[in-house]
A and B are shown apart, each in its own frame.
Chain A
Amino acid sequence: MRFADLPNHTPATGKKISLQALKTVLEECGIEYLVALPESPYELFLKDIAEHSTIRIIQVTREAEGMAICAGLTYGGGKAAWLGSYKGFYNSLDTLIGTARRVQASFLILISDEEIPPARAVHDPEMGRYAVALARAIGLPCLEVRTTEELARVRQAMEQTTGGIQPVAVALYF
């Protein structure tokens, strides 16, 4: 993944979940491949992974591709994680069901999401309400992480993928 310099750009820093701690957890879980599309809440995380980690980023053009790539990596014996936004997760549902679950590939799905107050949700039909509900509605295990301390749930999710027959999701509220 390459990065362009943007003058006057201030990246998001992950106020609730430490991006550095997330990287450490993924490395400790033995993740070898991070299949991702960029998104603002984890911009610095991707840069850090690209520049200072053994985890290989595989950049996709559309999040659904990432689900199939993760399934293929898993079949080949690789340890893979999908990383995308809640909208990317919506986009990926067909591939998640028709490919990853159909072929029983188990890998980690990291969904960047945002919890918003009900009053704001009225004006925003997409954000913060559906990813976890959708995951659970299709029978996908889905854990939620709201603080750095809760990143242990990523480890739990990774453990569930071992010998699993479907991916395990974690919603990250950065």
Chain B
Amino acid sequence: MAIKRDEFLKFLASLRKDEIVLTAWQASIPWETYSPSPFNFPSVRTMGETSTFGLGLAIARPDKRIIVLEGDGSLLMNLGSLVTISTVSPPNLTQVLLQNRMYETSGGQMLPNADKLDFAAFARAAGIPRAYHYDDMPRCRLELPRLLQEKGPVFIVVDMEPGADHASAKEFGWKIRAKDLEFVKRFRQALAENPKS
């Protein structure tokens, strides 16, 4: 069973307070729609590095909760980052892995060995004990509010299927990529206006 991405993101948006949310690729456009905020940042473009950018931010801004929304194809590019995150163990970092088992932006090519990968197990094996896996929305609705308050690093895998919110590379290009400088300015300003307490 899988969760519709738009349903999950809308629910996550309903729980959001003042967290910084870093998004990568397919999560970026719907997240901007469901939870518009200057504390959104969709501009880290290297696959697998949104979570490490988030790690740096979490270290330097311990006063803010950082949520990273990244895909499984991205994390596969940078599995070692789980060890780095586990070593630093930032209490304010929550990583949400949107597991669709494919490279969605490039056309739906399946990940290698897609049906057997257990990312929560990867995270636990890397030393992140608070690793959870959800494949149904009712349980997710029940437990996610608590997980967002839990001491980090927290690693949440959400089994996901693309919905009507799927964006082609071209659409991503004009909705996100073309506005990167705008996002950079907006995010930097938000951080500057809310200095470390």
Contacts and interface: CB of A to CB of B under 8 A. Distances in A.
Interface in A51-106: 58-62, 64-65, 67-78, 80, 94-95, 98-99, 102-104
Chain A interface category by residue count: 20 to 34
B56 A76 contact: yes
B61 interface: yes
A33 interface: yes
Nearest to B78: A65
A28 to B, nearest CB: 20
A99 B84 contact: no
Contacts of B196: 76-77
B149 interface: no
B188 interface: yes
B81 A61 contact: yes
Nearest to B63: A76
B45 A99 contact: yes
Contacts, number: 108
Given A58-B88, A59-B87, A65-B80, A76 B59 contact: yes
Interface stretch (B47-55, B108-116, B155-163, B164-172): B47-55
A83 B82 CA distance: 20
Chain B interface category by residue count: 20 to 34
Contacts of A64: 46, 49, 78
Nearest to A73: B56
B176 to A, nearest CB: 11
B8 interface: no
A59 B191 contact: no
B44 interface: yes
Given A99-B46, A99-B49, A102-B44, A62 B56 contact: no
B46 A77 contact: no
A75 B187 contact: yes
B76 interface: no
Nearest to B56: A72
Interface string B56-68: 1111110000000
Interface string A99-140: 100111000000000000000000000000000000000000
8 contacts: A62-B80, A68-B53, A72-B54, A74-B56, A77-B61, A77-B196, A98-B49, A99-B49
Interface of B: 41, 43-46, 49-50, 52-61, 78, 80-81, 83-84, 87-88, 180-181, 184, 187-188, 191, 195-196
Interface of A: 33, 35, 58-62, 64-65, 67-78, 80, 94-95, 98-99, 102-104
Given A59-B84, A64-B49, 16 more contacts: A33-B60, A58-B84, A59-B87, A61-B80, A68-B49, A68-B52, A69-B59, A71-B56, A72-B53, A73-B57, A73-B60, A76-B56, A78-B59, A98-B45, A98-B49, A102-B43
